[in-house]
Structure 1
Amino acid sequence: MAGYGDLLRTQGVARIIAAQLTARLPGGMTSLAVLLHIEQVTGSYGAAGLVLAAVSVGQAVAGPVTSRWMGLWGMRRVLTITVVICAIALTTLALVEMVLPAYIALGLIAGLSTPPIQSAVRTIYPKMVTARQLTPLFSLDASLQEIIWIVAPVLITFVAIQVGTVPALLLIVVILVGGGAWFILSPEVGRVRIPRSRRSIGRVLTKTPVLLATVVGFLLIGACAAVEAGVVATFGHDGLEAGLVLAVFSIGSLAGGLAFGHLPIGRWAMARRLAILAGGLALTIVSLNVWWLGGTLLVAGIGIAPALAVIFAMTSASVKFSETAEAYGWIGTGQLIGAAAGSAVAGFLIDGVGPQGAYVAATAFAVAGVVVAVVFVRGFPDLRHGNVSPMPDTQPVSTIT
């Protein structure tokens, strides 16, 4: 923990982490709020699912595109435009009653205009700390983002149920604008300029580490999404146990990230960390008792943030600085598709064999991740030297001081 203390005392690091976590908080709220609001307005979960699907499709499509735009037009311009459009779309969704196709269109616009905060901040990190500090910083980032998934769903569900779905959506808009402004106005965002990439969009996926990071991210988040579906199916939407068990899952991830963040990342690091996740998830199949699920998911969670830290570090170390934002955009898209796939597979198995089917699906996703990490181990870079900074571009990168 002393190492993290030194890291947070580095100029600007604590501020930029706090700002990006606040700006990204709506990411853990929007899906639930949209689902609850559209269901209340239309009286149909099917209609709500269609709008939610439109939001997810928009986010998946926009990820690499808006991230790449930051190299063309600058971080602040792209982030400001996307925050404004997304805020308008969500506000209209909350306040204007309309037909279902219009709700779907607004959901798509909200998804397409989701600000690429993750891509921006992970592009900025290498310019803020030394090469030795970058791996622990990625681990700290992966760990602290669990706060979003612990706090955001509980907060927005409470507001939606106790106050109303319209105030819940408007609260998201307030956090989006306030957190987005805090991040956009941070000195580091204005100080770092991403050079324009000379390669066509999507070419960054031809780099083996980026492709592996995208595939592993898909499988990792697919496993997590299946777990969430399984826990809800086990204890019900209104059960206190579901929220507590999922919180324990996230706490395990937070603890794992902080505990393993200082460890060097070799070629086998991903396989070992995913093996912890797969082992814990395999044990969930034994019993649906709340204490057993809590304990096994605590163990499984220990592997999540450390695995995400490997994804961030291997991506950073494998691309040019001009390609980092787009690379992280593709990885985000892979994770979004993984979340949808994990939820869908788990849902079918829950309908067919019951809640245990979701844990079987989660285990299968995690085991597939281990297999990929083992079979393609030579495609994972050896980062034990500690330097995971992006490769320099041939053109100079201007930095405003």
Structure 2
Amino acid sequence: MAGYRDLLRTPGVGRIIAAQLTARFPGGMLSLAVLLHIEQVTGSYAAAGIVLAATSIGQAVAGPVTSRWMGLWGMRKVLTVTLVICAASITALALGDMVLPAYTALGLIAGLSTPPVQSAVRTIYPKMVNSSQLTPLFSLDASLQELIWVAAPVLVTFVATQIGTVEALLMVVAVLIGGGAWFILSPEVGRVRIPRSRRRLGRVLLKPPVILATVVGFLLIGACAAVEAGVVATFGHDGFEAGIVLALFAVGSLGGGLAFGHLPIGPWAMARRMAIVAAGLTLAMVSLNAWWLGGTLLVAGIGIAPAFAVMFSMTSVSVKFSETAEAYGWINTGQLIGAAAGSAVAGFLIDGVGAGGAYLAAAAFCIAGVLVSIVFVRGFPDLRGRDASPIPDTEPVDLVT
């Protein structure tokens, strides 16, 4: 913890972490708020699912594109424009009385215009700290983001059920604008300029560490999404045990990130950390008792934030600075697709064999992540004693001879 205290004493680090967490907080509320609102106004979960799917597709498509635009037009300009469009579309979704295709279009626009805060802040981090602090900073970031997934769904559900779904969506807009403005106006966002990438969109995926981080992120988030579906199916939407068990899952991740974030990252680090998650999820299949699930998911969570820290660090060290935002955009897209896949597979298994099928799906996703990390271990860089900063961009210089 002394290392984290030193890290937070670095000028601007504490502020930028707080600002980006606030700016990303709507990400933990939007899907649930949209689902609850559209179901209420249409009376159909199928309609709500269509709008939510459009929002998720928009986010997945936009991730690498808007992230890359930050190198073309600047961070503040891209973040501001996307923020305004996203806030306007969610407001229209909340206040409008329209047909399903119109709701779906607005959901798609909201997804496409989601501000690329994650890509921006992870591009800024290497410019704020020295090389020895970068991996712990990525770990701290991955750990603290669990606060979003613990608090945001609880808050938006409370507002939607106790006050109204319109108010829940407007709360999302308020936090989006307030948090986004705080982040955009942070000095570091104006100070760091991403060089324009000279390579075609998607070329960064040819880097083995980037594609591996994208694939493993897809599998890890797929496992987490399956767990969430399984917990809800086990205890029901109104069961208080579901909230406690999922909170323990997040607490495990938070604790694991803080406890192990300082450890050096070698080629086998991802396999070891994914193995912890896989072990916990495999044990979760033994019993659907709340105490057993809480304990096993607490163990599984210990490996999650440390695994994300590996993904962020290996990506940073493997690409040019001009490519970092796009690389993180692709990783985020992989995670969004993983969430959809995990939820879908778990849903089919829950309908077919019961709630236990969701934990089977989660374990299978995570075991696949372990196997990928083992089979392609040579694609994972050795960061022990190495600077985890991005590769500097170089330009040809005309010499007078």
TM, length-normalised to structure 2: 0.98
Match for residue 350 of structure 1? 350
Asked if 1:249 is matched to 2:249, the reply is: yes
Q: Partner of 1:35: helix, strand, or coil?
A: helix
Q: Which amino acid aligns with 2:160?
A: A
Asked if 1:141 is matched to 2:141, the reply is: yes
Match for residue 275 of structure 1? 275
Q: 2 CA distance for matches of 1:385 and 1:44?
A: 55
Match for residue 119 of structure 1? 119
Q: 2 CA distance for matches of 1:27 and 1:364?
A: 26
Q: Deviations over 1:111-170 (max 9, x none)?
A: 000000000000000000000000000000000000000000000000000000000000
Q: 2 CA distance for matches of 1:293 and 1:159?
A: 28
Asked if 1:261 is matched to 2:261, the reply is: yes
Q: Which runs of 5+ in 2 are unaligned?
A: 397-401
Match for residue 52 of structure 1? 52
Q: 1 CA distance for matches of 2:304 and 2:201?
A: 29
Runs of 4+ deviating beyond 2 Å: none
Q: Which amino acid aligns with 1:205?
A: L
Q: 2 CA distance for matches of 1:207 and 1:93?
A: 39
Match for residue 175 of structure 2? 175
Q: Partner of 1:391: helix, strand, or coil?
A: coil
Match for residue 384 of structure 2? 384
Deviation at 1:395, TM superposition (A): 3.3
Spell out the pairing of 1:174-193 with structure 2 (5 A cutoff): 174-193=174-193
Match for residue 309 of structure 1? 309
Deviation at 1:215, TM superposition (A): 0.2
- Preserved contact between residue 276 and residue 299 of structure 1 (Cα < 8 Å): yes
- Preserved contact between residue 264 and residue 386 of structure 1 (Cα < 8 Å): no
Q: 2 CA distance for matches of 1:386 and 1:198?
A: 27
TM, length-normalised to structure 1: 0.98
| Matched positions, count | 396
Q: 1 CA distance for matches of 2:100 and 2:45?
A: 12
Match for residue 299 of structure 2? 299
Q: Alpha carbon RMSD of aligned pairs, Å?
A: 0.6
Q: Deviations over 1:6-60 (max 9, x none)?
A: 0000000000000000000000000000000000000000000000000000000
Q: 1 CA distance for matches of 2:216 and 2:261?
A: 19
Q: 1 CA distance for matches of 2:219 and 2:112?
A: 23
Q: 2 CA distance for matches of 1:350 and 1:333?
A: 26
Q: 2 CA distance for matches of 1:329 and 1:385?
A: 27
Match for residue 20 of structure 2? 20
Match for residue 2 of structure 1? 2
Q: Partner of 2:394: helix, strand, or coil?
A: coil
Q: Which amino acid aligns with 2:148?
A: I
- Preserved contact between residue 135 and residue 386 of structure 1 (Cα < 8 Å): no
Percentage identity across aligned positions? 81
Match for residue 102 of structure 2? 102
Q: 2 CA distance for matches of 1:127 and 1:78?
A: 20
Q: 2 CA distance for matches of 1:240 and 1:114?
A: 31
Q: Which amino acid aligns with 2:213?
A: A
Match for residue 319 of structure 2? 319
Q: Deviations over 1:325-348 (max 9, x none)?
A: 000000000000000000000000
Q: 1 CA distance for matches of 2:342 and 2:283?
A: 18
Q: Partner of 1:341: helix, strand, or coil?
A: helix
Spell out the pairing of 1:205-216 with structure 2 (5 A cutoff): 205-216=205-216
Q: 2 CA distance for matches of 1:23 and 1:262?
A: 26
Q: 1 CA distance for matches of 2:213 and 2:174?
A: 33
Match for residue 399 of structure 2? none
Match for residue 374 of structure 1? 374
- Preserved contact between residue 35 and residue 52 of structure 1 (Cα < 8 Å): yes
Q: Which amino acid aligns with 1:5?
A: R
Q: Which amino acid aligns with 2:64?
A: P
- Preserved contact between residue 265 and residue 383 of structure 1 (Cα < 8 Å): yes
- Preserved contact between residue 28 and residue 148 of structure 1 (Cα < 8 Å): yes
Deviation at 1:387, TM superposition (A): 1.3
Q: Which runs of 5+ in 1 are unaligned?
A: 397-401
Q: 1 CA distance for matches of 2:393 and 2:282?
A: 44
Deviation at 1:386, TM superposition (A): 3.8
Q: 1 CA distance for matches of 2:294 and 2:339?
A: 21
Q: Partner of 1:305: helix, strand, or coil?
A: helix
Q: 1 CA distance for matches of 2:354 and 2:80?
A: 45
Match for residue 232 of structure 1? 232
Q: Which amino acid aligns with 2:221?
A: I
Q: Deviations over 1:182-221 (max 9, x none)?
A: 0000000000000000000000000000000000000000
Deviation at 1:278, TM superposition (A): 0.1
Q: 2 CA distance for matches of 1:395 and 1:57?
A: 36
Q: 1 CA distance for matches of 2:66 and 2:395?
A: 22
Match for residue 35 of structure 1? 35
Q: 2 CA distance for matches of 1:61 and 1:95?
A: 26
Deviation at 1:385, TM superposition (A): 1.3
Q: 2 CA distance for matches of 1:209 and 1:136?
A: 19
- Preserved contact between residue 316 and residue 324 of structure 1 (Cα < 8 Å): yes
Match for residue 399 of structure 1? none
